[in-house]
Chain A
Amino acid sequence: MFDGYTSSELMSIFAMQGFAGLSLFSVFVLMALGLAIIFGQMGVINMAHGEFMILGAYTTYLTSGFFQLYLPGLFGGYFFVAMILAFLICSALGALVEWLMIRHLYHRPLDTLLATWGLSLIMQQAYRSIFGAREVGVDLPEWMMGAFSVTDLVELPINGLFVMIIALSTAVAVYLLMYRSGYGKKVRAVVQNRPMAEAVGVNSAGIDRATFALGSGIAGIAGAAFTMIGSTGPSSGQAYIVDTFLVVVFGGAQSLIGTIVSAFGISQAQSTMEFFLSGSMAKVLTLLVVVGILMLRPEGLMALKVRR
């Protein structure tokens, strides 16, 4: 498939596609982080995670509309307000969902899959009723438009870079929260041995709710970031959900580094192959390889070695 390209052209193609892959990587990282901490903590897969992300995206859309109408002078900064709002709204909804639904199902993880799928159907249809079936986009602030030219063949769009910075800083924040804070210590204690953690006074139900809310909130940030690089429709979340699951599982369920590495690998493979093959075949090949590797190595890339 590399026939007919000179080596310098190939290098530029890889660089450009690699950067295009980095936008995908950012979305994967942001979505997978939220999913991974929920999955790692409670063994629960939230099928409505994509819809939480879209909720964040719609929040951003509404915020940008609000700023355009009432605070046009501050329009350049609306994104940061939107991101915080998206985080708050999504984590509040996440806590509510955990309280109403998930906490009753912890001993039945497969049923959680089905119940959250039901939730995702309801949320999708709600978006369709409220915002319409058409995709909506936000206006980017002035400073986010344009591109850096690295060489004359390679250009890096600023909004893509910005989204990547958000993704990486969120990842760092999650890392610090999980490994350098009292809350994180409790989370890890509950993951390793729930009864013992409870015995020494950790409120495991509270930790569960906080973790679910945090994961949902990160999905909200993912949604806010997503509006910077694409338009939002009621079912945009579903388009990413399977890939995100695979990212989480492929990375190893309880490993944050693994999640990031696998998000990088999957997004890069997909976008590089997209240049040479059709988009659908690139996706099929990537998914096939991931599923194949998972069949041979079901614990994922970087599994936490624990005795079971």
Chain B
Amino acid sequence: MKSLSPLKWFASREGLYYLALVLLLVAVLPLVLGPFRLNMVGKYLTYAFVAIGLVMCWGKAGILSLGQGVFFGLGGYSMAMFLKLEASSPEATAIQSTPGIPDFMDWNQRTELPWFWEPFNSFSFTVIAIVGVPVLLAFIIGFAMFTRRVGGVYFAIITQAIAAILTILIIGQQGYTGGVNGITDLQTLMGWDIRSDASKNTLYFVTVGLLFLCLFVARMVQNRKLGRILVAMNAQETRVRFSGYDVAAFKIFVFCLAAAFAGIGGAMFTLIVGFMSPSFIGIVASIEMVIFCALGGRLSILGAVYGALLVNAAKSGFSETFPELWPFAMGALFIGVVLAFPNGLAGLYQNYVMPLEDRLFKRSKPELKTAAEPVATRPSAEKADNYDPMTNTCSPEKS
């Protein structure tokens, strides 16, 4: 694909889809929703990071990881450990038998901070750890597995086992990790109260910003040769290997990329929700992350964002009204997405809405067709609710 100048890109079809998402997240939702709901949308968006990673890793490169919760959790726990240490200053914890350590350690009769907690006193270390720890683990797993040409179902099962291991470890080592309750009662980030409405609002916009950063990186990867090789690897691995590419290296790269996205999402999750617990990272949570990606469309990074939003919104909606029906709906969603529309919402959009757009498009402004054509025939389809082909702009009121 030829690269367009930024302005032209925003007028292209793909650019408009991105613009629509920007408008939705930055303008429509903050204006329509109250602070509580907006905070929930922020929480859903942190899962979109994982879903984007899964699009790259599973949709494009064909590596299904059922352990993305691990990386989400490592990022989240890194952030939570930093916040917890800040909340456990000797003054704030003076009533404990050992002041200055997190409260759950005191309850578990620990008298000093474990060594691996020490570095989390530093904010810069924490920021590095949020991305670095998940990437390091992903690299180790990926290196061990992909250089031995393990893939497919085996890889899925082993990543699932790793999710199980981490959850059991965290729950079992209560004195070090907070156990099943997780790390709770987080208050400030470098002296800035994360619990007030104003700061939650700020955190929402930070999340949106980071999300677009990740979308940008993912889009860059998918549109370069690198992305093409990933897709080719998925379709014909042997042929790519025989063409001289180091297949394992590409797989490790994309797995680490997905882990990095998940780590960032996890850290933002901790900030937005205010605690971190093993229930967000276990086997069940990890598989749910796959459905966000599958519903949105496993080939579409924008679809992943919508998938994460929709599934989580539906989950909250069901849990508020008919909690016992939610597992049925979730199960049906898994089966339905896989059997009936494997390319998710993005695939449906591409098949049914895009031809409609094309017709309107051609009738009104035929000269634009040439500019939009290369984008329109790309294999991945993006979804926009409020795209208006008549004026070739996005108007939030339309949606």
Residues of A at under 8 Å CB distance from B? 39, 43-45, 101, 104-105, 108-115, 117-122, 124-125, 128-129, 238, 242, 245-246, 249, 278-281, 283-284, 287-288, 290-291, 294-296, 298
Contacts and interface: CB of A to CB of B under 8 A. Distances in A.
B153 interface: yes
B330 A118 contact: yes
B339 interface: yes
A119 B335 contact: yes
Nearest to B169: A284
Interface of B: 58, 62, 64, 66, 141, 144-145, 148-150, 152-154, 156-158, 160-162, 164-165, 168-169, 171-173, 283, 287, 290-291, 294, 324, 327-328, 330-339, 342
Contact of B172 (A122, A242, A280): A280
A114 B330 CA distance: 11
B332 A122 contact: yes
Given A121-B331, A121-B334, A288-B165, A104 B156 contact: no
A242 B144 CA distance: 20
A67 B295 CA distance: 47
Nearest to A104: B339
Given A114-B294, A283-B168, A125 B64 contact: no
Nearest to A297: B148
B294 A122 contact: no
Given A122-B328, A281-B172, A290 B145 contact: no
Contact of B331 (A110, A112, A119, A298): A119
Interface of B: prevailing SS:
helix
A114 B164 contact: no
B157 A45 contact: yes
A58 B330 CA distance: 23
A109 B62 CA distance: 11
B91 to A, nearest CB: 34
B324 A125 contact: yes
A122 to B, nearest CB: 4
Nearest to B335: A118
A291 B327 contact: no
A115 B330 CA distance: 11
B154 A249 contact: yes
Given A105-B339, A118-B330, A298-B145, 16 more contacts: A45-B156, A45-B157, A101-B339, A113-B66, A114-B294, A115-B338, A115-B339, A117-B331, A118-B338, A121-B331, A124-B327, A242-B161, A246-B157, A281-B173, A295-B148, A298-B148
A242 B160 contact: yes
Contacts of B283: 238, 242
A120 B288 CA distance: 13
A290 B161 contact: yes
A280 B173 CA distance: 9
B171 to A, nearest CB: 6
Contacts of B154: 249, 294, 298
7 contacts: A114-B287, A118-B331, A118-B333, A119-B331, A242-B161, A242-B164, A278-B172
Nearest to A43: B153
Contacts of B338: 105, 108, 111-112, 114-115, 118
